[in-house]
A = this chain, B = another copy of it.
Amino acid sequence: MTKRIPVVEKIMSANDRVAAENRAHLDAACVYSLNFMASPGAGKTSLVERTIQGLQDRLRLAVINGDIATSLDADRADAAGAVKSVQINTGGNCHLDAIMLQDAMPQLTLGEIDLLIVENVGNLICPSNFQLGTHKSVLVASIPEGADKPYKYPGIYRGVDVLVINKIDLLPYVPFDMDYFRRGVEALNPGLETFALSCKTGEGVNAWLDWVANEVEAERQPSVW
């Protein structure tokens, strides 16, 4: 019998080792980091823009964007006022991994930033299998995607630290059963920190910005232990 699983295990443990190195690197520089994941078009880049615009008076923010092709998202982060944005073109690869992030990080001067947002490739499946070394992972869901997504993509809903429900301005125009959605999320990830907002209208964005600012502040405090 051919034994194949160890090859996969080897890839994953190599990824996790590099993810731990990335985290140590960020921690040493007191840089807090978030990994944004979502399906294509849910609004990761719009949330990046809102976050930069809302926090640029308080924080220095950099962005690393992962995409199959183009630098459109990095250009938007630049225009919004990022201290620095770096585009990783994965060349067809369906997710970022820790090694891609490690390769991109030397393009940032970590001493000049407080918050690094890593915007993953638009995909509800593969990115959840690869730790990057960021402090927390954020799933951006969106109203027009439909309320059944936690049930159909349980892996990513189970694994994230924070959920942002974007495009709530479309609730009057799209059938979306919020109770059904919430029950699905709660079953997979009880008590998951959740922000419902609209990057288009700005509704609900302040609560998200306050959460991010508090997280960054907590990272800066030296542990009493």
Contacts and interface: CB of A to CB of B under 8 A. Distances in A.
Contacts of A153: 40, 68-69, 122
A126 to B, nearest CB: 5
| Identical copies in the complex | 2
B70 A40 contact: no
A104 B145 CA distance: 27
A60 interface: no
Given A68-B152, A144-B144, A152-B67, A124 B170 contact: no
- List of 5 A-B pairs having minimum Cβ-Cβ separation, nearest first: A41-B145, A144-B144, A94-B125, A39-B40, A41-B146
Interface residues of A, number: 36
Interface in A41-93: 41, 67-70, 72-73, 92
A174 interface: yes
A148 interface: yes
Contacts of A72: 148, 151-152
A171 to B, nearest CB: 11
A interface: dominant SS: loop
Interface of A: 39-41, 67-70, 72-73, 92, 94, 121-126, 129, 142, 144-146, 148-149, 151-155, 167, 169-170, 173-175, 200
25 contacts: A39-B40, A40-B124, A40-B145, A40-B149, A40-B152, A41-B142, A41-B149, A68-B153, A69-B153, A69-B154, A70-B151, A73-B152, A92-B155, A94-B94, A94-B125, A121-B125, A122-B152, A122-B153, A123-B125, A125-B126, A126-B126, A142-B144, A144-B170, A170-B174, A175-B200
